[in-house]
Amino acid sequence: MKCDELLLYREGLSGSLIREISGLFEDGNREDACKAAAALLSLSNDLGFEGNLWHDHLAWFIANNENSFSMACEMRGGVKGSLPDIAMHDIGIFRSLFDMDIALIDEKHGTDCFGKFRDYVPFDENGKTFNRRIRDSICDLAKKLADSKDDKEMGAADIVPVKKIAHVSLSDLVGYEDAKKKLTDNTEAFVEGRSCNNCLLYGDAGTGKSSAVKGIMNAYYDKGLRLIEVYRHQFRYLNDVVAAIKDRNYRFIIYMDDLSFEDNETEYKYLKALIEGSLEKKPDNILIYATSNRRHLIHENFSDKLDRKETDDIHESDTVQEKLSLYNRFGVTIYFGRPDPKQFKNIVLTLAERRGVKMGEEELLYEANKWELKSGGLSGRTAQQFIDHIKGTVEK
């Protein structure tokens, strides 16, 4: 079996569809063929693939595989030594796999399905795993690899990391122009290798803090920016995360959404050590971005600020400073406040225009005011939920 000869790209082949399907050209039976066809179809629908599903799956495997050659290319660009020759050996094997016509499996095992996978049209443009942009990049890579004239041309194809990214643009966030510019300026400096700061986006709920971070990630994705979301219960592993990415050739934002701590929680100390204060300097390719509804991330009791004699804490001022120090370690803080009635009106009208709402302006704003009174008050989230309501129920 050809795929068994792979060297650099060998990991991940055990039990994979590549082994199962390529093996069907030489061995197997009708039941094995139907089982493999069902697995390929199910996976392709989850990923949103189209066209030649066999080629798509091969391209997906190549793009996802991390090995010594792909890591060396990522960190240093051109690679010298013996690795390129070994990589060309594997590329030759992949070329032979791309050249396999999966319709021949139908002839060999009496099935009637693999031929349909040569030019597959999905029932939905959006897969469950990738958004359309990432899906398209994999399908385009598959076509490029399949059409390559020789091993050298196939080896020169650009392979991009596969990530699921919410389709959010900064322009989707209506208003907050000063906040968006502040976030953009800091991120652009980071991507270009200039001085920049960790960033805290704080303010009222539903004002677009998380959307702003996702939008900025999408804006600079093509320039090598990547996002890693870490939850509070995972903070003890932050050093492990940093160790895994500090020598990579990408710029990473470690993202923490809805960040806050109660006064009896101590996980924030892991974060403090990462931002500033540990023996090892934070790598230049890593920044911390966090969102919070609180400006001061750690809950403070009123008693923390009182100079009372009957206190369990002898050094009260030190306790207060300990709680404030986390906030102070974010060099850039950006406030997202609730919109005033005029701003809320503008958000509703802008979203209605984008979604093609046909309701008259006066009626629309009247209904929007009724909606916000019973749905959490003035916010961008409330406006979005109102427009979704209009499109889903009123304008069926």
Domain residue extents for the chain: 2-155, 170-336, 341-394
Whether 359 has a pLDDT exceeding 70, the answer reads yes
CATH T-level fold of 170-336 = Rossmann fold (3.40.50)
Structure confidence at residue 162 (pLDDT): 43
Share of the chain above pLDDT 90, in %: 34
What span, in angstroms and rounded, lies between the C-alpha atoms of 344 and 341?
5
Q: Binning pLDDT at 50, 70 and 90, where does residue 138 land?
A: confident
Structure confidence at residue 315 (pLDDT): 45
Least confident of 128-132, 252-256, 315-319: 315-319
Q: Which of 69-78, 108-117, 148-157 has the highest mean pLDDT?
A: 108-117
Q: Closest by alpha carbon to 289, among 201, 363, 217, 388?
A: 201
Q: For the residues 197-220, what does the mean pLDDT come to?
A: 89
Whether 100 has a pLDDT exceeding 80, the answer reads yes
Q: Closest by alpha carbon to 165, among 133, 203, 198, 123?
A: 133
Share of the chain above pLDDT 70, in %: 79
Tokens of 260: 């806050």
Report phi then psi at 336, rounded to 5. Answer: -120, 100
Q: What is the pTM of this model?
A: 0.62
Structure confidence at residue 283 (pLDDT): 85
Q: Closest by alpha carbon to 352, among 340, 338, 337, 362?
A: 362
Whether 72 has a pLDDT exceeding 60, the answer reads yes
Q: For the residues 123-140, what does the mean pLDDT come to?
A: 72
Tokens of 161: 């990391």
Structure confidence at residue 322 (pLDDT): 55
| Arithmetic mean of pLDDT over the chain | 82
H-helix or E-strand spanning residue 336: strand 332-336
What span, in angstroms and rounded, lies between the C-alpha atoms of 279 and 114?
57
Are 255 and 229 in contact, with CB atoms under 8 Å apart?
yes
Strand partners, 252: 226, 286
Can you list the pairs that 100-108 forms with residues at least 24 positions away whose Cβ atoms lie under 8 Å? 100/22, 100/25, 100/54, 102/21, 102/54, 104/25, 105/21, 105/24, 105/25, 105/33, 106/33, 108/24, 108/25, 108/33
The per-residue pLDDT for range 299-346, each reduced to its tens digit, is: 544 444 444 444 555 445 555 555 556 667 788 999 999 999 999 999
Structure confidence at residue 166 (pLDDT): 57
Are 143 and 56 in contact, with CB atoms under 8 Å apart?
no
Structure confidence at residue 236 (pLDDT): 80
Tokens of 225: 């920016």
Q: Closest by alpha carbon to 19, among 7, 29, 5?
A: 5
Whether 154 has a pLDDT exceeding 60, the answer reads yes
Whether 349 has a pLDDT exceeding 90, the answer reads yes
Are 296 and 205 in contact, with CB atoms under 8 Å apart?
no
